[in-house]
């Protein structure tokens, strides 16, 4: 039977000291709800190599941005902005000079001028020379060498800088070269780094360590290395003088075969490119011996003038590819002549 004391036990109505005392004693043991302390998930910890890779990529991206920005500035030039530099004469202080489009610079027999080619290189005008600045703007800087000698050092993409010799254009492909022009128009190109292209009635590409003679009538001759023998130069001159109209097994070709070795590869490949019919003779096998590049090219295609037939030999030449002008980055480190002149004044 449910009594008054039971009511307190049931729903706390009424009183019951016994139950109340037990509640007071036991209530400290009651469950105290507390919020769950869930640990925040630890951030994913990348392996060390992953963290290093991210750092390297970030650094590379930053460096790339800096390099591209510097390159953009270097290759940009306001149309017609004069080239600055100085002229030095033995015994006299250097004098500042500025050359704008249409201006002609003449150096005395004992004077040398050094000019900034915009921001892409330097042009040294040697004593007794006459040079005209024809054009200067972004991607197109041209001078004419009327007579005398100049030395150019350029670090820029191909075709940014060139020198006119009248009907023949000397086009820089990212390099350093010296060009001498005689009063009669004959010119000699000597390349020290990179490549230079001779563009005229015929074309020629001249790599570092090679020389090419430009005839005022016939244009560029076949390039040859600096140390080529006199007999080889004479044979090449004879072939070029006749525009290649020599027998494929004639004395000139036999002389070329006898006087060339592996270091004359540019001469051999240039000959076959300029005068394809010479592939009918011993020059073809001789070139393959000097420049092994896998399978021998198809002789018939070479004779037919297929320029692609010689691609393997061109690729096998022991020089940096002409398009990789940036490999000659050291040419970009020379100080600006104009800056040097202002510093020394």
Partner 1 sequence: MRLVEGMTGPEIAVATGLTHGTVRVYLHEGMRLLRSSLSTTESTGGA
Contact 131, 125 (CB under 8 A): yes
203, exposed or middle or buried, with CB in 10 Å at 0-12, 13-18, 19+?
middle
Candidates 242, 307, 313; CA nearest to 283 is 313
Report if residue 23 touches partner 1, rule: CB under 8 A.
yes
Please state the closest distance from residue 55 (CB atom) to partner 1, in A.
58
- Tokens linked to 238: 């004879």
* Count of other CB atoms within 10 angstroms of residue 344: 9
State the DSSP code for 308: G
**Beta carbon nearer to partner 1, 10 or 329:** 10
Give 7 or 95: the residue with its C-beta nearer to partner 1. 7
Beta carbon nearer to partner 1, 6 or 103? 6
Task: Specify the residue, 33 or 44, whose C-beta has the smaller distance to partner 1.
Answer: 33
Helix (H) or strand (E) holding 241: helix 230-241
Binding status of residue 2 toward partner 1 by CB under 8 A: yes
CA distances from 304 to 44, 207, 280 (A): 66, 26, 10
Q: Rounded to the nearest whole angstrom, what is the least distance from the CB of residue 24 to partner 1 in the complex? A: 10
Tokens of 73: 């500035």
| Residue whose CB is less far from partner 1, 21 or 342 | 21
Q: Closer CB to partner 1, residue 23 or residue 110?
A: 23
Residue 51 is a binding residue for partner 1 (CB under 8 A):
no
Q: Does 10 bind partner 1 (CB under 8 A)?
A: yes
- Cβ proximity to partner 1: between 31 and 39 the closer is 31
Q: Does 237 bind partner 1 (CB under 8 A)?
A: no
72 makes contact with partner 1 (CB under 8 A): no
Binds partner 1 by CB under 8 A, chosen from 29, 36, 42, 333: 29
Alpha-carbon distances of 209 from 31, 56, 189, 291, 312, rounded to whole Å:
94, 39, 11, 17, 21
Handedness of CA 198, 199, 205, 208 (dihedral sign): positive
CB 35, min distance to partner 1, A: 19
Q: Is 27 in the site for partner 1 (CB under 8 A)?
A: yes
Distances (CA, A) of 342 to 81, 87, 95, 115, 169: 18, 12, 10, 13, 33
Stretch that binds partner 1, among 15-23, 144-152, 181-189, 299-307 (CB under 8 A): 15-23
* Nearer CB in complex with partner 1: 27/90: 27
Binding to partner 1 (CB under 8 A) within 30-49 occurs at 30-31
Q: Site for partner 1 (CB under 8 A): which residue of 14, 15, 22, 307?
A: 22
**Least distance (Å) between residue 37 CB and partner 1:** 23
Please say whether the dihedral angle defined by the alpha carbons of residues 144, 221, 261 and 284, taken in this order, is positive or negative. positive
Task: Rounding to the nearest 10 degrees, give the CA dihedral for residues 148, 141, 83, 74.
Answer: -130
How near is the Cβ of 26 to partner 1 at its closest, in Å?
Answer: 5
17 touches partner 1 (CB under 8 A):
no
Residues of this chain that bind partner 1 (CB under 8 A): 2, 6, 9-12, 19, 22-23, 26-27, 29-31
């Amino acid at each position: 039977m449910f009594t008054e004391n039971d009511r307190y036990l049931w729903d706390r109505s009424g009183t019951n000291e016994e139950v109340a005392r037990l509640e007071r004693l036991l209530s400290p043991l009651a469950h105290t709800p507390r919020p769950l302390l869930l640990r925040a998930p630890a951030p994913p910890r990348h392996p060390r190599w992953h963290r290093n890779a991210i750092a390297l990529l970030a650094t590379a991206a930053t460096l790339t941005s800096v390099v591209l920005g510097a390159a953009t500035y270097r290759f940009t030039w306001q149309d017609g902005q004069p080239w600055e530099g100085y002229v030095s004469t033995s015994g006299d202080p250097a004098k500042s000079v500025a050359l704008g489009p249409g201006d002609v610079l003449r150096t005395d027999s004992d004077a040398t001028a050094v000019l900034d080619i915009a921001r892409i290189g330097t042009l040294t005008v040697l004593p007794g020379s006459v040079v005209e600045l024809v054009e200067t703007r972004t991607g197109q800087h041209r001078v004419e060498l009327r007579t005398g000698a100049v030395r150019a050092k350029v670090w820029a993409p191909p075709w940014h800088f060139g020198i006119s010799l009248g009907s023949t254009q000397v086009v820089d492909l990212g390099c350093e070269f010296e060009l001498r022009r005689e009063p009669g128009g004959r010119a000699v190109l000597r390349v020290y780094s990179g490549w230079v292209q001779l563009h005229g009635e015929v074309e020629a590409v001249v790599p570092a360590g090679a020389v090419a003679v430009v005839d005022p009538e016939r244009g560029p001759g076949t390039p040859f290395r600096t140390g080529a023998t006199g007999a080889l130069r004479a044979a090449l001159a004879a072939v070029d003088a006749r525009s290649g109209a020599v027998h494929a097994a004639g004395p000139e070709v036999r002389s070329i075969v006898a006087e060339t070795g592996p270091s004359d590869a540019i001469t051999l490949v240039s000959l076959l490119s300029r005068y394809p019919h010479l592939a009918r003779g011993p020059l073809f096998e001789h070139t393959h011996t000097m420049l092994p590049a896998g399978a021998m090219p198809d002789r018939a295609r070479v004779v037919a003038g297929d320029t692609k037939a010689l691609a393997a030999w061109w690729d096998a030449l022991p020089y940096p590819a002409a398009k990789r002008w940036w490999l000659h980055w050291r040419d970009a480190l020379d100080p600006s002549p104009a800056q040097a002149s202002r510093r020394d004044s």
